[in-house]
Chain A
Amino acid sequence: MDVLKEDQVLDCSGMLCPMPVVKTSKAIKTLEVGQVLKMIATDPGAPPDMEAWSRQTGNELLRSTQEDGKFVFYIRRSK
């Protein structure tokens, strides 16, 4: 896998729906267009949620993986 470098990390471990989406929505707005947010979550609904969120908001979900029982997402602010 290519190495992705994040500009900001958001740890949503332990948070339940809809908090990871809400926090991601706020965090992405603090980045410049083109910058990357790394978001970590434990909510089992997070992978489909982040995919839907990215599709709806037009931000790019670069990677969605599972590491050590946690879900890790890399999202690029696209607009």
Chain B
Amino acid sequence: MSVWKTNDPEVKKILYIQTHGEKDPERTATPFFLATAAAAMDNEVAIYFTMNGPQCVAKGNGEKIVIPRKGGNGRELKFFIDQAVEIGVRLLVCQPSLDLHGYTMDDMIEGVEMIGGAAFNDMACDADAVIGF
């Protein structure tokens, strides 16, 4: 059984991969808003957070990570996370990349799901597009 939920061949499945976190705030928002746009096009969409990616979905970091903007007035990452979650984008992590930061699932914001490397690869093979950041 795939982690993907749809059986409808007309629904495309897009998997985003986010490897960046706190050190690179300018690289954190894009996967969320592209995933949001994809979900608004009635696709099934997930973001897999690995390497430093889980920092994006750790509790409190949505408020702490601010996307810089020339001239100031950067926006908190939380805005982009909330937008994605609201439209049904799924947020996935794996255990080794949580261990890397000393996180447990309790440190993750609500809705984050745990998968493993096999499930990830299975999702990738099944996806219509896999996009890495």
Size category of the B interface is 10 to 19
Question: How far, in angstroms, from A56 to B11 measured CA to CA in the complex?
Answer: 9
In contact, A21 and B43 (Cβ under 8 angstroms): no
Q: What is the bound-complex CA distance between A57 and B11, given in angstroms?
A: 9
CB of A63, distance to nearest CB on chain B (Å)? 20
CB contacts (< 8 Å) of A18 on chain B: these are: 33-34, 36-37, 40, 83
Instruction: Give, as a whole number of angstroms, the nearest-CB distance from A74 to chain B.
Output: 18
The distance from the CB of A23 to the nearest CB of chain B, in whole angstroms, is 9
- State in angstroms the CA–CA spacing of A52 and B37 once bound together: 11
Enumerate A15-59 residues with CB–CB distance to B below 8 Å.
17-18, 21-22, 24-25, 49, 52-53, 56-57
Q: Is the interface of A mostly helix, strand, loop or mixed?
A: helix
Shortest CB-to-CB span from A60 to chain B, Å, is: 15
A22 to B33 alpha-carbon distance, docked (Å): 10
Residue among B34, B41, B43, B87 facing the most chain A CB atoms (10 A cut-off): B41
What distance in Å separates the Cβ of A46 from its nearest Cβ neighbour in chain B? 12
**B35 (CB) vs chain A CBs: closest residue:** A18
Q: Once the chains bind, are A52 and B41 in contact (CB under 8 Å)?
A: yes
B122 at the interface (CB under 8 A from A): no
> Using a CB–CB distance below 8 Å, which chain A residues touch chain B?
17-18, 21-22, 24-25, 49, 52-53, 56-57
Residues of B within 8 A of A (CB): 12, 33-34, 36-37, 40-43, 83, 87
- Given A18-B33, A22-B36, A22-B40, 18 other A-B residues pairs in contact with their CB atoms under 8 A: A17-B33, A17-B37, A18-B34, A18-B36, A18-B40, A18-B83, A21-B37, A21-B40, A21-B41, A22-B37, A24-B40, A25-B40, A25-B42, A53-B40, A53-B41, A56-B12, A56-B41, A56-B42
21 A-B pairs whose Cβ atoms sit less than 8 Å apart in the complex: A17-B33, A17-B37, A18-B34, A18-B36, A18-B40, A18-B83, A21-B37, A21-B40, A21-B41, A22-B36, A22-B37, A22-B40, A22-B83, A25-B40, A25-B41, A25-B42, A49-B37, A53-B40, A56-B43, A57-B41, A57-B42
